[in-house]
Structures are given as structure tokens and as C-alpha cells.
Structure 1
Amino acid sequence: MYDNNQNVVVEKNITLIERNKCSELTDKLANEVRVALVYNGISHTVMLASPRDLEEFAIGFTLSERIVSNVNEIKGVDIEHVENGIIIHIEITQRCFMDLKEHRRSMAGRTGCGLCGVAQLDDAVKPIKIVDSDAVFNMDYLPGILEQAKAKQTNFELTGATHAALGLNNQGEVIYVYEDIGRHIALDKLIGAFSRRNAEKPAAVLLTSRASFEMVQKAASADIGILFAMSAVTALAAELAEKSNITLVGFCRNSRANIYSHPHRLQHGARLQEAAAI
């Protein structure tokens, strides 16, 4: 049976060299395992991921990669442990499966690359999806949320090796936290969590990583209207956010934030005017 809490952090005895002195101690490492996604019996891709919240990952990946258009087209998720990793068996509707077979390509996921294994340039860019979101967010909440984010990243606190995606409501509360060694996978897990039936959809999402093109593309697929990133925003991400009607904000730290697109969803005391930064 799948254990949702297994082996996320592992311990290893190491030698520490500090100020020319050696000492023996136990270090905590973020675990990463091979995770194969199999649709209707056909292998699709292999990712490296933290071995937790894998059902959420499967659902979120399937939605954010537009293998299905809504969660009701996912008929089942079954997780199997094998000698060399984990296999996630995902059952989707026959129509979606036929579309997947037609467009299927060979991919190999890595933690630092969102487009690994894409064979054709056209495969890297999905059709622009226009986000229809009336979400608003008061930027006065952001400093407190950033403080909460530190405390809620338990795996990062132990290992220093994970990213997180946090779902926020419009009262400035953190309602979802998902961590993974892969920033894309952390976002997929969050998407999978709130896409389930009767789950609360966040008003905004905060990434502890940079916001690159594929992160914005996943946000658009999930109809996320506001995307915050604690680190930088790439030029292609900003361009896609503008076209997709996503409010994209980067460098959210140290009482500052850079707004790259669609500031109309953000408030700061009075509503923000068209501006590039606050």
C-alpha cells in the first residue's frame, strides 16, 4: 500500500569540515525518486519527484499539461511501488487517451528543466489560454504571508533542497502548501489539490522559485489569475502572462514586489494604478 509520508527526508552520516575541524554528524537529505506516469496502460513520462502527495501530482500534471481539460476526465489514479521507483497508473477517458496517443512524445523529466525531452519546438508551446479570473488580492497581506511561508516549508527547513507552491485566499491566509524537489512538480501538486471536487480554489499562488515560462503556462492551464514568485521572472514568462491575462509578480521579498502584467487584480490600500513595482 502507498504510504503518503514515506521517505521524503532521509538521513545520512557525514563528515563536516568547519573552521579546519572535522566532526561526524547526521545530515538530512531531500529524497527524490523516479516516478513514472502511465496513462491507460501506456507509459508517458518519467519524472524525479519527492515521494509524497503523488495523487495530487498526477492530477495536477494531467491538468496542467492539458492531457485532460477537466478533472472529471480523470477516472482513477493508482500508485504502485516497484524496485526502481513508483508507477502512477492514471485512467482517463477514451477520447482524451486517443488525443494523447496522437500527440504523445518521449520525455524524460529532470528537476531543473521544464521542457526536457521535447522533440519539436512546437511541442514546447501550447496554445494560449486566456485566464478568466475575477480574483483580487491585497498586497498588504504579502509580508505576513512571506513570513508564514518560511515556517510552512518543513522539508526545506530540514534539507534546504525543496521548492514550494502555496495557495492563498483573498484574506491573506495560506490554504495549501506543497513542497517538492522540482518547482514544476510542487505547482502540479497544488493544482491537483484544488482541482478536486468541492476543493477551495486559491485566489493567488506563491512560488518560492523563479517564475519561468512553463510555470506561467501551468498556471494558465489551471485558470490561476494571480501568480507570485519569490525569485525572478523570465522575459518569456512575462510575455505569456500578459497574453494569458495573468497577474504576474516577481521578487516578492524584503517588502518589495515587481508587477509584470495585469496589476488590476492587486490592491494596496487603494487600488494600484498601472505600475511596474511597489
Structure 2
Amino acid sequence: MTIHSSPVISLPRMSVTKDASSAGERVVPEETPIALTYNGSTHAVMMATPADLEDFAVGFSLSEGIIASSADLVSTEIIEHELGCEVRMWLSEARGGSYRSRRRALAGPVGCGLCGIESLAEAARPAQVVTGSLQLQPDMIISAMADLSGAQRLNREVRAIHAAAFWHPNRGLVALREDVGRHNALDKLAGALARAGEPGTDGAVLLTSRVSVEMVQKTSRMGAPILVAVSAPTALAVRVAERCGITLAAVAREDAFEVFTHPGRITTRERSCAELIV
């Protein structure tokens, strides 16, 4: 997996309406695994925009209570790896002692400074390849997203809830789950489908959120061949969707959406959008 250090990147996409499609580009945010290590031990791997990482390191350390002020960090070093970035931080003697005590209460081995690379590899693990042959017409996707909006019961009450839904071309919305966290909503949906014995290969996953790489990975494990979202994807999400065979459509509005990967599953009455763009 190639990691880009720029915070944004321009990617090709196809704009689709009910009646037409056209090729173009969209600038999307980059998403990179960031391993945060203290005194040679990995504390966490966060998916983040690869910019202002020194600020991120200090802010994360403060919010986690690892340091009381920036002065508690003796040094900070940004190491770029093929799989992401490692932020190596060294704590003052006093803070280092309290951190070692804290680490003894955490699960997982203490590394030697290279464990950040291992953690990055885990964060960048390949997604499951999806091979479903489902094809949808543009008006079906636009109708499905309208159904999603109307079915968000909790969000109608509080206006602060994400939703993930599974849509079948013959049955409409099969299941919908809501949560304050977009990842949680998708996990809940996956669990609901699994408990009901509903195969993910037969429909599309719909999201009210942006598309980060975890959302693509979770969708691939469900086996769903098409993922549609209200907001834009990250660049890493697009790359992973391309590799694992998912048709990624995003920026879905009332009358249009954009397709970033595998457009052949989006069809007009006569042929696929991939053929129309050639």
C-alpha cells in the first residue's frame, strides 16, 4: 500500500445523474495510519490526515493524560514508513516513570521502537476482495439514499446521529442501524445482517457519513459490492475500494452522486457507466 504524505490529493471520479454521466476529478483528504510511540513503545495507531503531526502528538498526549505540558516531551521525531508515519516521542524522566506504570496495566507487548512499524502494518491490512455482480441504475441509488434519509428515526429527534443501512434492489431498505459513531452504526448493521442470515452480496451499503478506510474494510467483510455515502471519501478509502473490488459512490445528493471505483456496476438502461466514459 502506497502512503502519500500530502494532506489532500486529486482523484478521478465520475459524476452520475439519472440521465447522464461525466468524468472529472475531486480533491479528497488523505488518510494515513499514524503510530504514536512513547519511549520506544507503541501506544496507539490513529488514522489521521498527515499534516501538523507534531501538534497532533502533543495534543493527543495532553488529552490522554500522558503529559501535563509540552515540556514533558523531551523530543519528538516523525518517521515516514511505506505503510504510514511513526511519531516517536521521548518523555521526561518523571513522566517516563509514570508512563511505564501505566503501560503495565495495558495489554500487549512493549516494543523496542520498531513496534510502531508492526502496528502500522496491522492498520494497513488488506481488505477482503469482493466479487459480487450486483448492478444498480442511477435512479435506484438516488432513491435508496432518499429512503435512508427518511428512515433515520433517531436522527429526526436529535439531528446528531449517523446511520448505516443495507438496501436490496427488490426489497428496498432491508436493515438500518443508527449510532453517534459512524463506525458503530456500520458494525451494528453488519451484526444485524449476520444474525438474520442476510447475505451482504445481494445489496448495497448506504452511509450518512464520509468514507474512511475502516468503512471500506468493514463493508468488504460484509461482502457488499456497492458502498454509497452522503459525504466524500478519503484518498486511502478510494485506493482500498479499488483493490478489493468495491464500487464506491459518494457525495450522494438528491439528484446525483460521484463514482470513484469500479463504475461497471452502475448501469443505464442500455449499458454500464464504465462503457459510457470510454
Q: What TM-score do you get using the length of structure 1 for normalisation?
A: 0.54
Q: Secondary structure at the match of 2:239?
A: helix
Q: Are 1:260 and 2:260 matched, yes or no?
A: yes
Alignment correspondent of 2:54: none
Distance in 2, matches of 1:137 and 1:239, equals: 22
Q: Distance in 1 between matches of 2:194 and 2:126?
A: 21
What are the superposed Cα offsets for residues 33-80 of structure 1, whole Å, 9 maximum, x if unpaired? Answer: xxxxxxxxxxxxxxxxxxxxxxxxxxxxxxxxxxxxxxxxxxxxxxxx
Superposed, 1:164-243 pairs within 5 Å as 164-171=163-170, 173-196=172-195, 198-199=197-198, 201=200, 202-243=202-243
Which consecutive residues of structure 2, in runs of 5 or more, have no partner in the other structure? 1-106, 110-116
Where do 1:2-151 residues align within 5 Å?
Answer: 120-151=119-150
**Offset at residue 189 of structure 1 (A):** 0.9
Contact 2:225 2:246 in 1 (8 A): yes
1:68-122 Cα offsets, whole Å, 9 max, x none, are xxxxxxxxxxxxxxxxxxxxxxxxxxxxxxxxxxxx759xxxxxxxxxxx98211
Which stretch has the larger CA shift, 242-251 or 199-208?
A: 199-208
Question: Which whole-Å deviations, capped at 9, do the CAs of 1:122-179 have from their partners, x for residues lacking one?
Answer: 1212233211212222221123222222221011110011100011002371111100
Match of residue 65 from structure 1: none
1:268 to partner: Cα distance = 2.6
Give CA deviations for 1:178-236 in whole Å, capped at 9, x if unaligned. Answer: 00011011111111111236335451011010111110011112211100011111110
The letter for the 2-side match of 1:217 is Q
Paired AA for residue 252 in structure 1: A
Q: Which has the higher helix share?
A: 2
| CA RMSD, 1 decimal | 2.6
Cα gap change, 1:219 to 1:203, in 2 (>3 Å): same
**SS state of the match for residue 144, structure 2?**
helix
CA shift in 2, pair 1:197/1:119, >3 Å: same
SS of 2:160's equivalent in the other structure is coil
Q: Which runs of 5+ in 1 are unaligned?
A: 1-103, 107-117
Q: Which amino acid is 1:219 matched to? A: T
Query: Is the radius of gyration larger for structure 1 or structure 2?
Result: 2
The Cα of 1:275 is off from its aligned counterpart by 7.5
In structure 2, how many angstroms separate the alpha carbons of the residues matched to 1:197 and 1:158? 27
Query: How many residues of Structure 1 are paired with residues of Structure 2 in the alignment?
Result: 164
Task: Tell me how far apart the structure 2 counterparts of residues 145 and 197 of structure 1 sit (CA, whole Å).
Answer: 21
Offset, 1:247: 0.4
Deviation at 1:250, TM superposition (A): 0.6
Runs of 4+ deviating beyond 3 Å: none
8 A Cα contact 1:208 1:230, kept in partner: yes
Higher relative contact order (CA 8 A, sep 6+): 2
